[in-house]
Amino acid sequence: VIDSFHAEFNLKENNMLRRVLSAALMTLFLIVPAVAQTAEQPLRAGMIGLTTSHVIAFSKAMNNPEATGPLSQVKVTAGFTGGMPDNPSSWDRREGYTADLKAAGVEIYDTIEEMLKHVDVVLLESVDGRPHLEQARPVIAAGKPLFIDKPMAGSLADVIEIFRLADEANVPCFSSSSLRFSKGFQQMRNDSPVGKIIGCEAWSPCSYEEHHPDLFWYGVHGVEVLFTIMGTGCKTVTRVHTEGTDLVVGTWEGGRIGTFRGIRQGKRDYGALVFGEKGVVSAGKYDGYQPLVVEICKFFLSGKSPVPAAETIEMFAFMEAADLSKENGGGPVSIEEVMRQARAVYASKK
């Protein structure tokens, strides 16, 4: 729009007037784009890693012609398939999801770099967390706001590095499980009916994937609930592991205690019991993907992350500490120590 306006304007003779008007119009265009785009042209979103059912669910929510609010202002227009050959969950479904997106009119590109030329924002969806750092690098380099689906990465060190790169490039970036934005869990965080939160017992299914720390693959959902309700400040972690169940206990600053129960046997349920100053209540249920997709769209439109990076980092430290506790026979593991070791990984590579 600006280019064509200039082309037309260049025909004018009066240089002075041209300069003044040009400056005024440039200012106008610099201020207006967000508004103009939201009103008429939705943001073009690209998806990296067409290896999870989320790509179908999320793009359906955004591309629904009847979508309203923030959902109507972001459309998935591009995709890059990706996939990890050594992880069947990632590899076996990629072609199906790619075909589905193609059928829905989404352009599929051979490389992330190519895709980035055609989008305003990016959803990194790869079901396997290990390639996330390498996939995030070009996105951050291109300055595109980035949502990263769970698990944010294959290791705490990678999580820290992604946030560091994004912060350095001033690129908005966040990651979350959809569980965080279920109404009941948000209410506990923002306006708890039981006053100050003293403790929490969260649970979720917890299947493993051999290339990820145990809780990253699926337990992350319940851990996300735990941190949504407890916030940051976890100091030590102990874990009891059996074939059917994991039970991870976190001790927070000030003596609050939060637990995560990972379920592999029995009803695969999500939930949390919250211990507050004024009562003990159930925090509610999983509300599906929609609340997360709305938050992602709001994030793309505003550039503001709905989750503090420090909280996401601490969640991953909690999950890695849980693995260390299992290795040491169930003794307590310090979050600070886990963080120190993870920070050293990329610091030493520089």
Partner 1 sequence: VRTIVRWQHSGLCLLLLFTFASSTWAEDPAPIRAGIIGLDAHAAVWARILNRPNAEGELADLQVVAGYAGGSLDIPQSQELLKQGIATFEELEIPVVDTIEELLTKVDAVMILSIDGRPHLEQAKKAFQAGKPVFIDKPLAGSLADAIEIFRLAQRRNIPCFSSSCLRFSPGTQAILNNSSVGRIIGCNAHSPCALEPHHPDFFWYGIHGVETLFTLMGSGCVSVSRVQTEDGELAVGRWSDGRIGTFRGHRSGPHTYGATVFGEHQVVASGKYEGYEPLLVEITKFFKTGVPPVQAEQTLEILAFMEAADASKRQGGRPVSLETVMKAAQRRAE
**Alpha carbons 207 and 50: distance in angstroms, whole number:** 21
For the CA atoms of 333, 338, 339, 344, what is the dihedral angle to 10 degrees?
160
Q: Which helix (H) or strand (E) holds 254?
A: none
**Alpha carbons 286 and 331: distance in angstroms, whole number:** 32
Choice from 80, 147, 185, 203 touching partner 1 (CB under 8 A):
203
Does position 198 interact with partner 1 (CB under 8 A)? The reply is yes
In the complex, minimum distance from the CB of residue 249 to partner 1, in angstroms, rounded to a whole number: 5
> In the structure encoding, which two tokens stand for residue 125, read together?
């969806």
The DSSP string of 168-203 is HHT--EEEE-GGGGSHHHHHHHHS-TTSSEEEEEEE
Q: What is the number of residues in the chain?
A: 350
Paired with 147 in beta bridges are 123, 174
**45-64: which residues touch partner 1 (CB under 8 A)?**
none
In the complex, minimum distance from the CB of residue 326 to partner 1, in angstroms, rounded to a whole number: 11
Choice from 14, 68, 111, 265 touching partner 1 (CB under 8 A):
265
Does position 208 interact with partner 1 (CB under 8 A)? The reply is no
Of residues 56 and 257, the one with the C-beta less far from partner 1:
257
Does position 251 interact with partner 1 (CB under 8 A)? The reply is yes
**Alpha carbons 135 and 82: distance in angstroms, whole number:** 9
Does position 232 interact with partner 1 (CB under 8 A)? The reply is no
Paired with 173 in beta bridges are 146
CA-to-CA separations, 228 to 172, 188, 328, in angstroms, rounded: 20, 8, 28
Choice from 238, 309, 313, 335 touching partner 1 (CB under 8 A):
238
Contacting range for partner 1; rule: CB under 8 A; set: 42-50, 80-88, 107-115, 249-257: 249-257
Of residues 306 and 332, the one with the C-beta less far from partner 1:
332
Does position 201 interact with partner 1 (CB under 8 A)? The reply is yes
> In the structure encoding, which two tokens stand for residue 254, read together?
């000030």
63-102 footprint of partner 1 as x/- string (CB under 8 A): ----------------------------------------
Quote the DSSP letter at residue 234: E
**Dihedral sign, Cα of residue 28, residue 29, residue 30, residue 32:** positive
Of residues 65 and 255, the one with the C-beta less far from partner 1:
255
Which residues contact partner 1 (rule: CB under 8 A)? 198-199, 201, 203, 236, 238, 240, 242-247, 249, 251, 255-257, 259, 261, 263, 265-267, 269, 271, 273, 275-280, 282, 329-332
